[in-house]
Structure 1
């Protein structure tokens, strides 16, 4: 697949699929998610193993199938209403025997297994379907959980909501209720009755608009849940006590790439969102609803990495639309930048791609072009620290000096202003 070309970096294009994004980095499919190097020489498939979260809580999760009956899906050729798959992640009690949730849905795992040959991964080389998260399926809510802030996550264009699991689990283990959202026809999505791949060549302005509508619809359903009334399309509710544990007066969002762009747009459209993070997502005026002409009066962080594809750093001055949005914003703002990183490093690819690359002998240059050359564990530790500290500061009022400038705990990161 040939990545889109325009006046801005193809790897940060709002609607670029995972395949196109990795093609721009020398990879043309999104297979290499994780790896256990020890599994590579055993004759069996490479196992996917996500890093452990470091928070104080065990984690639970529940999947929901949400249907917006008032909104026809613009990409559905049968005229069905907009369908959204989401997961709610939350602090949970430790209970033996609760099964761990799959990392990937069956359809997404199969999709990755079938689209991996272009980088030398044949079907069956990687155990996509057997990978597990660290969350218990519908695990009991942590005793005494009350007033928990809520954070919504939107993935990059063409990417499953599962690709942010390493950050999402960290937040849930730190006491947040986190909702991850799939944007149907903008990514491979497993619905209850079918699997839907990304729609070919969507209109990107419409992609932004529908993402914002998706996120606001999810906020509406969370409000129903807080009142005890939420049920998904299959009649499934939340685990006992979870709805009442949410404090929706302290709601924030974050996202990678297109999800970061959508976070900014959703904040400008919806005052319920108190703070937001855009992880390396360009905000093109060609597709913007509000960010090209408005800033925000609420806290916002722009996290950049590596190159913009034109030889310049993808930082505050070179991320498309970033400087104008920041200059118009009157709220708290910061712009951490990792020169040794790259676009896909803000996803689970950062820590798991190197492992599978060692196991299956992937092209080291291609891997570096996708996720950069930063130490993967340190990069993830910094992302977890910055993300958690940002939400702790703006949703919990917990002071921090982490954003005062570069930290010796997270070498290689710079702050742009």
Structure 2
């Protein structure tokens, strides 16, 4: 843990800053909140920042992964504070009809390393774990224990939560970190192994299912069973059994379970975004992270977007709270507009493709050029990319695709929208 900086007098309006007064208070210590705190500290080392998280650690129990092409040099520099696992020779995908190696470098970050990186990088006292936020306003935060934190600017990063104003399906997963007695011999990640049975656990109906495998050490693997389903129910026992079966089928039957995670994430097909903003917002408080709508509609990826937003906040660090809130409200609306194409594809997946045929959508996509795939994940698809994705023989029937353009999936109202719990 870094040493406390020498005592200093900070201006706060026309008064001197007290122990309960901050330049910025960030509610929610997930990926978005943690990166914002780090970017702000790097840009303004003199700022007094409070990152308030109800859980025991920053980042919870999670693993974030991304393609190296998702970030620019500034983004990579921000993440350099954290211990990461990387595969410079790329990754594999596997489908019933083919398998392919793509040379795009791939990266992964565990939440434990995220927490430790922030502890090292931020001044002592910045991280307030085990402290729930009871209420926010434009001038600070009230904590559940009765503490008041006054601030010039407040940023709300407390997660997606309920969103009946938006529509879509669900990405449901269970991941497990296992340790083998012998080296596993896997050289690069398999980010999508769809050469598995295409069904969801009982109670979820049809789904697109795949297994995700990360070789995070010579003896260590992270295996995740994931499916895109209409129903958000997470059957922990069924997913756990499927991971056991997958491990046995690959010769990894004898192993130690080191850890794991579960999650249910929204896949967005549409909705009333302004109504979503109104329901989630507090006057004068900036919304960031998934709470602000900053997600990839189809993949649920957040890391590249969270990095971009953290750097944007750092560049405008001297704005007042209401100014920052207005800036990010507009930024979120721009994000919603520019991700319209990806929501269209999500509608094709959930509303046009029959559940047992959803695998064909991804199988066709991964036959396309590597650069197109990289830009897709980074939300930078060009007009030519979009045309190429839609051109040719469609993986779904035209008679089902056309009606899907004019309808939407069910509202995202389940409590499982915010589920991410330890295995």
Please indicate, yes or no, whether the TM-score normalized by the shorter chain is above 0.5. no
Structure scoring higher RCO (CA < 8 A, sep ≥ 6) equals 2
Q: TM-score, normalised by structure 1?
A: 0.24
Structure with more strand by fraction: 2
Q: TM-score, normalised by structure 2?
A: 0.24
